[in-house]
């Protein structure tokens, strides 16, 4: 990974302001980079930046890197970091705060796409379906074709059921989604 030097142009003060104003942002400036979040995180090795590095980048206002990072999408919301942080910063909640900002900023990468497909599946069926999820996601992400043999072998072993479950009344769910959309527009 090429590391760009941090110069004044890399920093976006408005972004710092935007994040710090959110309910979880207030304590971000007090991070002392102890790393207990990253040390506790079960998936930090899969992220391009660890939670500690993400907080540091928010402190600096490195908007582009923060919003296009895989970190905010890979977080499993296990809350270990939030529970253990000695400064009372809540990295988990920070990830959740950054996701809609990334979407609103038009960040498009496979993590965003996956998130969109996932919520679509939920919206229409009210239940998660691995088969639908994978097939829809594969349509948007051509690279997934390589995973086909793996998927087939899973299917043979019954690990990828084809049946799609639906909840009885998806209208109620749709109403919830719509409310969410509305409240986001208001912001």
Partner 1 sequence: MTENEQPLVKEQKEETIRKESTIDKSAIEESAKKGSKKIGVYLCRCGGNIADAVDLQAVADNLKEDKNVIVNIQDYLCSSVGQDKIKNDIEKGKVDRVVIGSCSPKLHLETFRGMAKNAGLNPRLLEITNIREQASWVHDKEDKTGVTSKVLGLIKGAAARMGSIEPLSPLAKTLVDRTLVIGGGIAGITTALELSDSHDVILIEKKPYLGGHMIGLSKTFPTLDCSQCILTPRMVAVHNNPRISMLTQTQVADVQGSPGDYSITLKHSPRYVDIGKCINCGACARKCPTGAIFLPFAQAVPQAYMIDMSKCSNCGACVKICPRDAINLEEKEETSAIAVGAVAIATGFEPIDPTFIEEYNYPSPNILTAIEFEEMLSAKSKTGMRLQKADGTFPNRVAFVLCAGSRDFTGKGRKHCSKVCCIYSQKQAQLVKKMKEDSQAWIFYIDMRSGGRRFEEFYHHTQEKGVNYVRGKVAEILPKSDGTLMVQYEDTNLGRKGREIFDMVILCPALIPSTGTKEIADKLGVSIGDDGFIEEKHVKLDPVNTLNQSVFAAGCVLGPKDIHDSVTEGISAAHKVSQFLGKGMILIPPEKPVILECNGCGDCVKACPYNALALEGGKALLSPLACTGCGICVPACPIKGIEIRNFTRDQVKAQLQGILSEAPGVIVFIDPYAYAAADIAGVNRKQYSSLVRLVSIPSVHILDADVVNAAFEYGATGVMLIEGITDEKLTSRSDDLYKKLKKDTRKHKKPIRYSHIETAQYEKLTDLLNVFASQAGAKAQKMSRKEEISDKEDPVS
Q: Which residues bind partner 1 (CB under 8 A)?
A: 27, 30, 32-41, 44-45, 49-50, 52-53, 80, 84-88
Distance, CA of 53 to CA of 30 (rounded, Å): 14
Shortest separation between residue 27's beta carbon and partner 1, angstroms: 8
61 phi-psi bin (left φ>0, alpha ψ -120 to 50, beta other): left
Token pair of 118 as six digits: 């996932």
Residue closer to partner 1 (CB basis): 85 or 102 = 85
Residue closer to partner 1 (CB basis): 1 or 14 = 1
Shortest separation between residue 41's beta carbon and partner 1, angstroms: 8
Token pair of 54 as six digits: 């993400």
Residue closer to partner 1 (CB basis): 62 or 121 = 62
Q: Which residues of 97-121 are buried (b: 16+ CB within 10 A; e: fewer)?
A: bbbebbeeeebeeebbebeebeeeb
Shortest separation between residue 79's beta carbon and partner 1, angstroms: 13
Shortest separation between residue 36's beta carbon and partner 1, angstroms: 4
Residue closer to partner 1 (CB basis): 49 or 137 = 49
Token pair of 138 as six digits: 């594969």
């Amino acid at each position: 990974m090429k590391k760009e030097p941090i110069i004044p142009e890399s920093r976006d003060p408005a972004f710092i302001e935007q994040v710090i104003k959110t309910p979880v942002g207030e304590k971000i400036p007090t991070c002392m980079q102890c790393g207990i979040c990253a040390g506790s995180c079960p998936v930090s090795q899969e992220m391009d930046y660890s939670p500690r590095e993400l907080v540091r980048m928010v402190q600096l206002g490195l908007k582009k890197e923060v919003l296009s990072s895989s970190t905010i999408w890979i977080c499993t919301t296990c809350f270990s970091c939030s529970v253990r942080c000695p400064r009372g910063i809540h990295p988990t909640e920070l990830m959740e705060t950054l996701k809609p900002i990334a979407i609103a900023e038009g960040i498009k990468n496979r993590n965003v796409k996956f998130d969109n497909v996932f919520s679509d599946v939920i919206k229409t069926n009210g239940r998660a379906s691995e088969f639908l999820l994978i097939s829809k996601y594969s349509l948007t992400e051509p690279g997934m074709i390589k995973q086909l043999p793996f998927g087939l072998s899973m299917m043979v072993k019954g690990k990828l059921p084809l049946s799609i479950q639906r909840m009885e009344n998806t209208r109620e769910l749709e109403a919830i989604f719509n409310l969410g959309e509305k409240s986001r527009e208001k912001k």
